[in-house]
Structure 1
C-alpha cells in the first residue's frame, strides 16, 4: 500500500511501545508558575474532552446528576414493582374468579361481593413468604441488586468527575452555569483552544485545532462510521421470505464496541493507541484467530445472559410504551432514524448534536417521501374498515353519553379501546387527499439533508426497492421496539456465526486504516478527511486523489465530511490539498448557480447549503451565498 503524505504531521503507523501519543518525549514545555493548576498536562484528554462535550450537551451538572439519580430510581422501581405484581397480587380475586364476602360494620349488603383493590393485595407477611419460597425470584433479585450497586458506584464516580468539569467551565473557561445554555459548542470549543495556549492541557503539541478535539471525542465513533461505510460489520442479513434485512440494535452495537475498542481482549491497548501487534501484517492470521476466539466467548456470554436481558427488555418496553400506545396508538406507525441509519448517514467528525440537528431537519421531507407510497387496494380496505369501526364506536360513545352506566357492562370499555386502535391504524394507510406523486423531487429534498444515497437510487425513486432501502434508514417505531426486544436472542448468533467470519477482514481494516497523529494518538485514517488518500474520483476529487477502490470512502463520504466539517468549523484551516478541493468546489457551485435556478429552488431549504465561506474575520458563517446548490451538482 502506497505511503501518502498527509497533514497534521501524521504518518503510517509504526511499532512503538509508549502508552501515550508519540511526541511527548521530544517536547519540553515551559509553563509559568501562575498558570499551573489541575488542568495542565491532562493524561486522558479523550475522556476529558468527551466529558466537557457531554456536560455542555446535557445542560450542566444539575441536569446530568438528576438524570442519573432518576435512572437509579427507575431501575429500582421496575424491579420492585415487577416483584410486587408477581408475588403480592391475588389475580383470582382481581379478575373476580373467586368471590369476596365483606362482612362486618360499614359494609352494606350491596357492597359485600364488590371487589376492591386492597382485596386483591396480599398481606405483607404472606407476600414476603412467597418471595422467600421462590429461589428463582431470590436469584434475580440478587442479580438486580448487584447491578444496582454497580450503577450506584458509577453514579458516585460520575458525580466527582463532572464536578471537576463544572469547576473547569467556571474557573478555566469563565462560563457560569446559568449562562451555559447560551453558549454554542463552537464557542466553548474556541475557549478550549485559546486555553491550550496558556495552560498546555495537551503537552504533545503547542496548539490544538478543532480537528484535534473532534478526533479525541469521536475516536471510536469514526471507526464505526468507517466500518459501516466499507461494509466491514455484518449488519445486513439475508433471511428467508424477508430478503435483505438490516439488523443493528443498541445491544449489538454495544457488543461491537466492547469487542473492538474497550473490552477485555480489545484491539486497543489503551484509550488512544492500537496495540502494536495489530500494526504488523506478518501475524494477521494468528491475530484473526485470536479475535475470533474473543468474539466466540462474547457470543457465548450473550447467550448465557440472554434470559435476563430479555426479561429486562420486555419489562422496560412494557413500562415505557404501554401508556403511550394506549393514549396514541398511531405512535407505533410513526418513523424514526434507525441506529444503522445514524451510522450510515453520519459524516466523519460529526458530533452527536450536529447529526441530530441534520437528521431532525430531514425528518419531514423523508416522511413525505415514505408516505407518498400507497397501495390503492389497501387504501380501499382501510377506508371501509375505518367506516365500520367508526360507526360502531360512535354508537357506543353516544350510549355512554346518554347513560354512563353503559360503561359497567362487561367488555364495553375494552370494545371502545380496541375500536379506537383499529381506526387509528387504518387511517395511517389512507393517504392525504392532497398528496402529489413526485418521488424523484421528494427524494432530492431528502438528499439535501441526509447527504448520502447509493447511485442506484437516482432515477429509481418511484420503485419499491428504493423505498425499502430508505426504510432501512428510516424505520417504523414498532420495528425499532421489536428489534430491541429480539436483540438479546439474535445478538449471540450474529456474533458467533457472522462476526467471527469477519475477523481477518477486521484485522486488515484496523491495520490499513489506522494512522498516528502527533498529539492525538491512533485514529481512523478516514477521519483525517484526506482527499488524496481516501477521495473518490466520482465526487469532484478527480485528479486530486490517488486512492484505490479499497482505500476510497464509499458514496463520497470523504468529500462530504470535509465539506461539512469546514462549514461547522469556519476557523479551522484545512491542509493545502483540502483547501484546493474546497476552492474548486466553490467555483463549480458558483458557476452552476449562474447557469440556472432549478437546483437552487429544489434545495432552498438545505441547511448545509447556506455557505462554505466564512467572514474574513473568521467569526463564522453569516451571509447566505450561492452555495445553496452545494449538493445540487451531485444529484
Structure 2
C-alpha cells in the first residue's frame, strides 16, 4: 500500500477516516490523508493543479464562471438562431416585435439535436464541478495546514517553495523519514506529474508520429491542432497507461508487439470514424466559441487580427522533459516580442506600400465621419450614408480597416539584424534544427519559423480545417506508424525505484542517451538512442536552472555538470574549479549566442570540435547552475574508443545506475503467451474501451474548463 511506503510502516487498522473524523483535529486528519495517499501520481498532479489554479476560491470562481459562460453561449446562440425573425427587423423598431413567440417549441429537429447535445455537455460539466468540490477542500487543507501556504500567499509563491514545503513535511514528521522507499525530490515529483507528457515530448522529438496529410499536394504538410492533440492523447496515452497512470506491463515485452500494434491501429481508425460522425457538432461549437470569445477583443484592438502565436506543434517541439506548464510558458512567452521583431526584419515593401495606401484611404473616411459626428451628434446614429447604413456603421468599418492596415506597416526605425534576433529567440525556445545552421538570415528559415509562429487567425482556420482533416490523419497516416509507437514505449522506458516506469529521456539517463556533441560524458554508439537536437541535455540544464537545490542521483549526471562547469569557467577565463556543492552561490554568466568562443580548450587536443556551434542558452540564477549552453558543446569523439553497446556502456557491464531498459535485441515469438502479468487484459477489446464520445472531445480539446480538476 502506498501509505505504508510513504510512512515507512504498515497502516493501522484503526486509522480510518470514519473512526477518527470526530476525534482528531483538521491538521491531524489532513496529515493522515497525506500519509495514506494511494496514488502519488494523481496526488501530485492535483497538488500542481491547485497551485496552477491559485487556490480554492479562485478555482471555484473560475469553474463556476465557465459554467455560466457555457450556459450563456448555449441559450443565447439558440435564441439568435431560432427566436428572431430577421426578415421583420427592417419594418419594426422594438425587439418584442421581431421575437418569435414560443420559439423553442418551433425549433427545427437539427437545432433541437444540437441543443440537446450541448445541454447534456453542460449538465456533465456541472456534475464534475460538484463532484470535485470535496477534493478541492482537501487540497485546500493540505496547503493551509501542512504546507503552511494560505490562498493569500499561493498567488505569489513559487513552485520550488511548494516542493520545499513538501520535503519539509517528510523530514519533520515523526512518521516519515528518509528511509522511506518512496523517493521524493523535485525530479521525482516532476516525473510523476509529467509521466505521460514526457513520453509525448519524446515522441515529437524523435519524429515518431506521422501527422502528415495524406492528400494530393498536401502529403508533405503536417497538421497538428488541439483537436488532433486530444485524439492523439486518447488513442496513445490512454492505451499505454492504466487508470492509475502507470505504464501497462504488456508494453514492455516484445512478444506482445503484434497484438499491441493491431490494437493501436484499431483505436486510430475508430476515433477517425467517431470524429467524422461528430464533425458538424464540433464545427458549430468552434464557430460559436470563436465568435463570442474573440469578437470583442478584435473590436477593441483590430490589430490583434494580425498577431501571432506559437502553434500546438511548436509548443510540443519546444517543451523539454520534466518542464512543468508554468515553467514552459514563462520560458517561451519571453520570446514572443523578439519573434515579432525578427519577422518584422524581412523586407516587405510591397505589403507596406499597400498597407499605407489602405490606411490612408480608410483613415480619411473615418476622419471625415468623426468630424461629422462632432458637428451633429445625432448624425452618428440617424444619418444614412447608404440605405440602412448609418455613420455609426461605417465608422466602425473604416476604423477596423485602418487598424489592421496600420498593424501591417513596419517600424521605419528598425535596424536590419534578423540573425541576431533569431538567436535571441532560440535562447528562449531552445530550438535550433541542423538545417538552420548558417542560414538564419535567409527567407527559407523565416518561412519555416512562420509555420511554428503563425497568425492567430491562421491557427483558428487550421482548427476549423482539422475538424475534417483529423479523421483523415487518424484513419490513414497514424496507423502507419503504430508499430514505431509501440516499439518506442518499449525501447525508451526505464524502471526507477520509488517512482516506477518512466521515459528514460526524462530520467536524464546519460549512459543510454548521452550525446557527446552536447557535452555528454559517455558516448552512445547507436544514434537511435539519442535525443534530437540535444533535447535531453538541454532539459537537464533547464531543470537544474529551475531547481537549483536539486542534485542528480546518477554519476553520469554529476559528471555532465562538472564538464559544463569546467567549460563555462574556461570560456570566461575563470578557474575551472567547481564549487563543492551545487547549491553554493555562483556569479551568473552573461554568455550569448553572438559571442561564442572557441571551445577547444575545454577538451583534449585529440577531440575536434564542430565549427558551427548552436546558440548559448544561459540560465541566469543566483544559485549555482551551469550557465553554458548544452547545444554549444558539440564534441566529436576520437575514432578509437572502447566498444560500447546500444546503452552507451562497455559490453558486460550494468547499463545504467538508474535501472534497466525494457528493449530486447530480439523479440519473442508470437506463439508465446502475450499476457505474462496478472494485470494484462483483453487486447482486442481494449481498442474500443472508454470511448468518450463527442462530450469528451469538446471538453478536452477546446479547454472551456481551464481550471484544474481536483
> Could you tell me the TM-score, scaled by structure 2's length?
0.76
Among 397, 413, 436, the alignment partner of 1:457 is 436
Q: Which residue of 2 is the match for residue 111 of structure 1?
A: none
Could you tell me which residue of structure 1 aligns to residue 79 of structure 2?
84
Does residue 425 of the first structure (1) align with residue 401 of the second (2)?
Answer: no
TM-score by structure 1 length?
A: 0.84
How far apart are the structure 2 equivalents of 1:377 and 1:238?
35
Alpha carbons of 1:287 and 1:478: their partners in 2 closer, same or farther (altered >3 Å)? same
Q: Identify, as 1 or 2, the structure richer in helix.
A: 1
- Mapping 1:103-142, distance limit 5 Å: 115-123=93-101, 126-131=102-107, 134-142=108-116
Q: Which residue of 2 aligns with 1:12?
A: none
2:155 to 175, 181, 185: 181
Q: Is the CA contact (8 Å cut-off) linking 2:208 and 2:481 kept in structure 1? A: yes
Is the counterpart of residue 213 in structure 1 residue 183 in structure 2?
Answer: no
> Which among 609, 613, 620 is matched to residue 618 of structure 2?
609
Task: Tell whether 2:138 aligns with 1:164.
Answer: yes
Q: Could you tell me which residue of structure 1 aligns to residue 9 of structure 2?
A: 29
1: CA distance between counterparts of 2:264 and 2:627?
Answer: 46
Q: Structure 1 residues 238 and 444 mapped into 2: Cα distance closer, same or farther (>3 Å)?
A: farther
CA contact (8 A) 1:39 1:201 kept: no
Are the counterparts in 2 of residues 309 and 488 from structure 1 also a CA contact under 8 Å?
A: yes
Which of these residues, 181, 199, 204, is aligned with residue 223 of structure 1? 199
Q: How far off is 1:539 after superposition?
A: 1.2
Once the two structures are TM-superposed, the CA of residue 270 in structure 1 deviates from its matched residue by 3.3
SS at match of 2:240: coil
Give the structure 2 partner of residue 442 of structure 1. Answer: 421
CA–CA distance in structure 1, aligned partners of residues 468 and 165 of structure 2: 47
Offset of residue 175 of structure 1? 2.1
Greater shift in the superposed pair: 294-303 or 484-493: 484-493
1:162 to 1:418, Cα distance in 2 relative to 1, 3 A: same
Name the structure 2 match of 1:553.
Answer: 531
- Gaps of at least 5 residues in structure 2 are 16-23, 575-588, 597-614, 636-710
Q: Secondary structure at the match of 1:39?
A: helix
How far 1:276 moved relative to its partner?
A: 2.3
CA shift in 2, pair 1:403/1:472, >3 Å: same
**Equivalent residue, structure 2, for 1:533:** 512
Q: Distance in 1 between matches of 2:631 and 2:264?
A: 41
Match of 2:254 in 1: 281
Size of the aligned set, in residue pairs, is 579
The 1-side partners of 2:522 and 2:38 are apart by: 38
Distance 2:153 2:336 in 1: 30
**In structure 1, C-alpha distance between the alignment counterparts of 2:288 and 2:431, rounded to whole Å:** 37
Corresponding position of 2:486: 507
- Supply the distance in 2 between the matched residues of 1:195 and 1:25 (Cα, whole angstroms): 15
Check conservation: 2:515, 2:523, Cα contact below 8 A: yes
8 Å contact kept, 2:561–2:626: no
- Taking a change above 3 Å as real, the CA distance of residues 381 and 238 of structure 1, as seen in their structure-2 partners, is farther
Structure 2: distance between partners of 1:202 and 1:325: 55
Contact 2:511/2:556 (<8 A) preserved: yes
- How far does residue 633 in structure 1 lie from its aligned partner after superposition? 6.0
Return closer, same or farther for 1:552/1:358 CA change in 2, 3 Å cut-off: same
Structure 1 runs not aligned, ≥5 long: 1-19, 101-114, 612-620
SS at match of 2:519: helix
- Judging changes above 3 Å, is the alpha-carbon distance between structure 1 residues 226 and 623 closer, same or farther for their aligned structure 2 residues? closer
User: Which of 385, 391, 400 is matched with 2:373 structurally?
Assistant: 400
Q: Relative to structure 1, is the Cα distance of residues 610 and 304 closer, same or farther in structure 2, using a 3 angstrom cutoff?
A: closer
Question: Is 2:233 aligned against 1:267?
Answer: no
- Tell me the distance in 2 between the aligned counterparts of 1:632 and 1:588: 10
Once the 2 structures are TM-superposed, how far is the Cα of residue 415 of structure 1 from its aligned partner?
2.9
Q: Structure 1 residues 87, 270: CA separation in 2 closer, same or farther (over 3 Å shift)?
A: closer
Q: Note if contact 1:272-1:521 (Cα within 8 Å) is conserved in structure 2.
A: no
* SS at 1:573 equivalent: coil
RMSD: 3.0
Please state how far the C-alpha of 1:309 moved relative to its aligned partner. Answer: 1.1
